[in-house]
Structure 1
């Protein structure tokens, strides 16, 4: 159970432990906090001689599931200094996730893996981003049995649950929401990667 602090003039709740929850309206304070946190993660990885690798999970065949590959492509196009798996050109999804993980661990002995995926939440959470320490469980909302991945992870809340089957949400998600989340997460990662 996390302890939450309310930030003045925002609707954001920030867990005191190693996780952050924010959205576009959060303000610069929380963004700066996350950028600083990521910079420290990158620095620690360098000191421990661990290569930071981004694993962007999802499929470009469904708008709601395209967040990961969109972010992967945006990071590559902007010249991120870390390896990226999962782009619009070469997505990493349920059918090739295990192959991608084998490739990552074959190329890097002890990678520090940051995974990124779309997620479902409540109606009020749509447009929010979660950043947490620990692995991501991809495909959980769709009840897929996939391996947990990542030392840290980002989740973008692209849609919400209601009585419809979960797979329907991937089709009913607005591209506008996914693009806003992709740009926001990409910008935070790129700003963290600057010297």
Structure 2
């Protein structure tokens, strides 16, 4: 279920994300765990690790897994999720990842109740992640399985979406902590 859906250029995008985080997470009284999925080796798939890095820089007290230095990707995701679940058995997972879709969806950030499915665009079968999920629509899904095109695109919107989401999470966290 989509809670909020905003284009990163919309003036109220950050406030809408902060409000969605506040209204959906604050009452849960469980430790938030931000699971930032992706790789630093692909421009369009670096949204998760870039966001994770930005959050860690501004709010080191938050539990953030996945950064440019320590990405969570298809090769290590299962193992890292087991470690996260063992270290934080009662934490609430908020999964963050890049996604592809239709051309008109590019630039949209979606905050949803429910998990995301990493690697789906590449046909990978990875575990579902998150009680909540935040995805950034970074590219257009190819009509045919031309996966090399998924790695091509501009980092500019990816950077701006990561910066916006990280700022919203950091600001929400300040309000949450009082």
Q: Normalising to structure 2: TM-score of the pair?
A: 0.91
Q: State the Cα distance separating 1:82 from its structure 2 match.
A: 1.9
Q: 1:36 offset after TM fit, Å?
A: 1.8
Structure 2 residue runs of 5 or longer lacking an equivalent are none
Would you tell me which structure has more helix in proportion to its own residues? 2
Residue 46 of structure 2 corresponds to residue 63 of structure 1: no
Secondary structure at the residue paired with 2:134? strand
Change (3 A) 1:87 1:166: farther
Distance in 1 (alpha carbons) for counterparts of 2:17 and 2:160: 18
Query: How far apart, CA to CA, are the structure 2 residues paired with 1:130 and 1:19?
Result: 8
Corresponding residue for 1:42?
25
- Contact 2:14–2:164 (Cα < 8 Å) also in 1: no
The equivalent residue for 1:116 is 96
Q: Which runs of 4+ in 1 moved over 6 A?
A: none
Aligned twin of 2:121:
141
Q: Which moved more, 1:150-159 or 1:100-109?
A: 100-109
1:22 aligns with 2:6: yes
SS at match of 2:121: coil
CA distance in 2, matches of 1:138, 1:105: 17
Q: Would the aligned equivalents of 1:45 and 1:52 in 2 still touch at CA under 8 Å?
A: no
Could you say what the CA RMSD is over the residues aligned between the two structures, in angstroms? 1.6
Using the TM superposition, name which of 168-177 and 111-120 deviates more: 168-177
- In 1, Cα distance between equivalents of 2:164 and 2:31: 24
The reply on whether 1:92 has 2:72 as its aligned counterpart is yes
1:158 is aligned to 2:142: no
Q: 2: CA distance between counterparts of 1:162 and 1:97?
A: 25
The corresponding residue for 2:151 is 171
* Structure 1 stretch displaced more, 34-43 or 123-132: 34-43
SS at 1:92 equivalent: coil
Asked if 2 retains the 8 angstrom alpha-carbon contact of 1:141 and 1:166, the reply is: no
Q: Who wins on radius of gyration, i.e. which is larger?
A: 1
For 1:151 and 1:190, locate their aligned partners in 2 and report how far apart those are by CA, in whole Å. 19
Alignment pair present for 1:75 and 2:58: no
- Report the alpha carbon displacement of residue 113 of structure 1 after superposing the two structures with TM: 0.1
Residues 1:32 and 1:170: Cα distance change in structure 2 (over 3 Å): same
2:107 aligns with: 127
Long gaps (5+) in structure 1: 1-16
- 1:14 match: none
Q: CA deviation at 1:194?
A: 1.3
1:123-170 CA-to-partner distances (Å, cap 9, x unmatched) read: 111111111000111111111000001010111011102345352233
Distance 1:95 1:148 in 2: 15
